[in-house]
Chain A
Amino acid sequence: MNAIARWVFGLALAIGVAAAAPGCRRHAGASAPSNDLLIIGYDREPDTLNRFSTHILEDIQSCIVEGLTTTDEQMRVVPLLATDVPTLENGGVRLRGDGGMDVIWKLRPGVTWHDGTPFTSADIQFTVEAINSPNYNPESTDGFDRISSVDTPDPLTAIVHYKEIYAPYDIQFIRGMLPKHVLQGRDIDRAQDYNRNPLGTGPYRVAEWKAGEYILLERVPHYWRGDDYPKIRRLLFKFIPNTNTRINQLKSGEVHVVALLPWDKYREVADLESTVIRRTPGNAYEHVTLNERHFPPFADLRVRQALISALDREQYVRTILDGLAPVAHGPIQPISWAYSDRITKYPFDVAKARALLDDAGWRVGADGIRERGGTRLAFTLITQAGYAIRENMAQAIERQLRDVGVDVRVELQDGTAISTTWFEGRFDAMLHWWQMPSDPELTTFFAADRTPPAGRNINYFRDDALSRLLYESDRTVDRHARGALLARAQALITAAVPEIPLYTVTRLDALPAGLANFKGNPTNTGIFWNVHEWEIK
């Protein structure tokens, strides 16, 4: 027995010493970030590096393939391979008498593909034709299907003819360009040479893709911004799907960057000396969708207003979110140029919530839950499993709504399953977020005729005045006029509360303390949009 005791004691001691050891020791595989190599811990392996085909974030792609424009840290659309963003004012956009429009793109001179072939307007023409071709299956043809043709009067000018007015024309070519001289006449879906190692104009190219392990990018010799860029020679994206393992690698120095750090890991990483956490105000908003079709009591404005008033969203943000994100009040976030603050806000007010429900005829029953005409005010709130923050948020909502006599049952579903559930409208309420495009289009989320499968109006909310406003804003290219329409739309939406906005999603990225010129990005463009400037100092 003595031997057992000694053994157990020894083991306990070893674990104790290990756990108490000051700081972390470094394994030989660990290294400090440098301008020679920056290692990024990435939560998944990309499906393809073809930016038009992929259906996950385009972080790695954006280091290789560039578009005509990109979005910056303030979500402004800025030129990349174009010299300017075309507008009505600068003559780059012309509205035609037949209801269509022409967009004139001037290309930056001297840009070449990585193989030295000049990048020209013929590549733009080819990109449009390829995406509209029935033989290729990109993720989305949004906007491209409204282009009738592309003229190329000279190698540095492309005139894109739209059949109708298309307001987000400025981000039409944000995902990149397809090289005509490589892909013409080929089956792009199966062009594995390109899809695994795309030819781009960006600062990096693929040096190695080891399936299931990593993608190594190396700088291209003569990047068009000059030989000083990019500053960092190699970027290594390691695929580490398990969040705890990814954080462990960050702690051990085996990775230097963890993009999209989960919020519940914030405190764990915040204390690391070698790491800083950058917060980027996001363009997504977490909210509770209220499906009026599936749970008819949501169709009553008083019920919706009661629900939002019963929730202490300021407290959620302070406690569950550690103060990392602000309360959201509507579908367009403050970072967007189209944001309007002339909207209705709903402070936490339990008395008002109760009064509204009383007024709507919902009386408190014997079990403390309200009912009306034999129907209980009880619904199911679905949310995605595996997100601690969401699960906590759902519990807080359940608790606070019970205080005003509303019964909420929380149901967790896996990510793939929940997409199908909402697409088919088979739920009462859902806690989730939309990652909004950088263009402030709201039509697909709120127009009355855009319920699935025609769109993402899964509140099944119907307001014809709002629908008209939204469609008009889509056909308005002048930013001032479009902004005014969208401001009216925001006022209508926040007054009608078709859904309960909770908070603006803030993006967290863990970075090496010595990384200079990191700017962040609130959109799907991702944080690598200015990777050419990044430098370890």
Chain B
Amino acid sequence: MARFLARRLAHAVPLLFIVSALVFLLIHLAPGGPLAIYLSNPNVRPEDIERLRHALGLDRPLWNQYWSWLAAFVQGDWGYSFSDGRPVASRILERVPATLELVSASLGCALALTMPIGVWSAVRRGRWFDRLATLASMIGLSLPAFWFGLLLQMIFALALGWLPSSGRATPGTNAFGDHLQHLLMPAAVLAAVLASSWSRYLRGAMIEVIGQPFVLAAEARGVPEARVILRHALANALGPLVAIVTVDAALLVSGAVVTESVFAWPGLGSLFTEALARRDYSVLMALLMLSSAAVILFNVAADALHAAIDPRVTT
């Protein structure tokens, strides 16, 4: 296992290099740049634009900009934000807690929904619960997150007044209950989308496993149904789900862009949206490298986990 992990991680390094060059090229190819925002202010004259371009190093050749970014990045120097001049690392670090909070809450809720729904739909395949679950997950998958989020706000914040419409906490308070209330709707939106797809995977995997001879054999030997399903069948059906959960988690860690924006959630997703609108190259690069690294690492973790719970997968 250790050798497997070492090998996979060693592969990740050149991959990240390639990704960094591609991403750097892409964000610089996107029309506009960090100075575009200045142009609409008539008081900012061409001399000012040239002065700022030089100060930000944007007048250097692209390869040169990439090289100096890379040289600093590998030494842990993520540079300064083009937008507010603060160190990129601290801009990102201050957003991490909010994102982790939202991600873990929504992953937890999604798993809590997925397990019973996926298993029960498979066991009672074609019956009313299965059909209801199918309908619900179709809805969950097709609802745009921003629309669903606004709908929840209208119901629970405006009409019923049960929950705050958005934000992470009521400013000035630091109560656990207040925090939880703010977390509920954004986590529900993400969890609904995730559970909709995950429960389909689990259902499919369970149906396949339930039809296999060893399950029939267990039933024939008189093992209670609950035990057959939970101990024997579920354990075997979890493998594919683990892979999908980890990949989705990796994508979420880099920020749930839409949900964070609708709920004014101060996580990495909001930071990404802002950095993209302002073409804040240094923040964008760092965020995109982080998410690439997360996807690669979580993939390795998924393989390792899969191997751990399913001995048929060898390393």
Q: Which residues of A contact B (CB under 8 A)?
A: 1, 3-4, 7, 14-15, 17-19, 21, 24-30, 44-45, 47-48, 53, 55-56, 137, 139-142, 145, 189-190, 192, 195, 210-214, 216, 236, 238-242, 244-245, 248-249, 251-252, 254, 413-423, 434-437, 444-445, 452-456, 524
Contacts and interface: CB of A to CB of B under 8 A. Distances in A.
Tier of interface size on chain B: 35 or more
Given A140-B45, A212-B95, A248 B32 contact: no
B158 interface: yes
Interface string B151-166: 0011111111111111
B91 A211 contact: yes
B159 A21 contact: yes
Given A27-B161, A47-B83, A245 B42 contact: no
B277 A416 contact: yes
B159 A25 contact: yes
Contacts of A216: 171-172
A421 B166 contact: no
Contacts of A239: 264, 266
B153 A245 contact: yes
Given A192-B86, A434-B42, A55 B270 contact: no
Interface string B271-315: 101100111000000000000000000000000000000000000
B84 A47 contact: yes
A506 B269 CA distance: 33
B298 to A, nearest CB: 24
24 contacts: A3-B128, A19-B159, A30-B161, A30-B164, A137-B52, A139-B52, A140-B41, A189-B55, A211-B266, A213-B167, A236-B171, A238-B264, A242-B262, A244-B262, A245-B165, A245-B263, A248-B158, A248-B166, A252-B158, A254-B166, A416-B31, A419-B37, A434-B42, A444-B45
A398 B153 CA distance: 37
Contacts of B155: 14-15, 18-19
Contact of B49 (A45, A48, A249, A453): A453
Contact of B279 (A4, A24, A30, A416): A416
A160 B85 CA distance: 30
Contact of A29 (B31, B33, B178, B277): B178
Contacts of B262: 242, 244-245
Contacts of B44: 55, 139-140, 142
Given A18-B154, A444-B42, A210 B160 contact: no
Given A4-B128, A19-B159, A27-B161, A244 B52 contact: no
Interface string B202-244: 0000000000000000000000000000000000000000000
A249 B164 CA distance: 8
Interface of B: 30-33, 36-49, 51-52, 55, 80, 83-86, 91, 94-95, 98, 128, 131-132, 146, 150, 153-172, 178, 181, 261-264, 266-267, 270-271, 273-274, 277-279
Contacts of B146: 242
A245 B170 contact: no
Contacts of A238: 167, 171, 264
Contact of A240 (B156, B264, B279): B264
Contacts of A53: 85
A30 B163 CA distance: 10
Contact of B157 (A4, A27, A417): A27
Contact of B42 (A55, A415, A456): A456
- Residue of B43, B153, B273 with most chain A CB atoms under a 10 A cut-off: B43
B262 to A, nearest CB: 5
A239 B263 CA distance: 11
Contact of B165 (A241, A249, A455): A249
Contact of B150 (A17, A245, A254, A416): A245
Given A195-B85, A419-B32, 5 more contacts: A21-B159, A137-B51, A211-B91, A248-B153, A434-B42
The 7 closest A-B pairs by CB, nearest first: A25-B161, A212-B266, A416-B32, A18-B159, A417-B31, A419-B36, A47-B84
A238 B264 CA distance: 9
Contact of A254 (B128, B165, B267): B165
A44 B277 CA distance: 11
A232 B52 CA distance: 38
A439 to B, nearest CB: 9
Nearest to A19: B159
Nearest to B151: A15
A137 B279 contact: no
Contacts of A1: 128
A524 to B, nearest CB: 8
B160 A18 contact: yes
Contacts of B95: 211-212
A25 B153 CA distance: 12
A70 B2 CA distance: 67
A4 B131 CA distance: 9
Contacts of A418: 32
Given A192-B86, A420-B33, A212 B271 contact: yes
Given A25-B161, A27-B163, A241 B42 contact: no
A44 B274 contact: yes
B264 A241 contact: yes
A189 B86 CA distance: 9
Nearest to A25: B161
Contacts of A249: 165-166
Nearest to B32: A416
B84 A248 contact: no
B274 A45 contact: yes
B270 A241 contact: yes
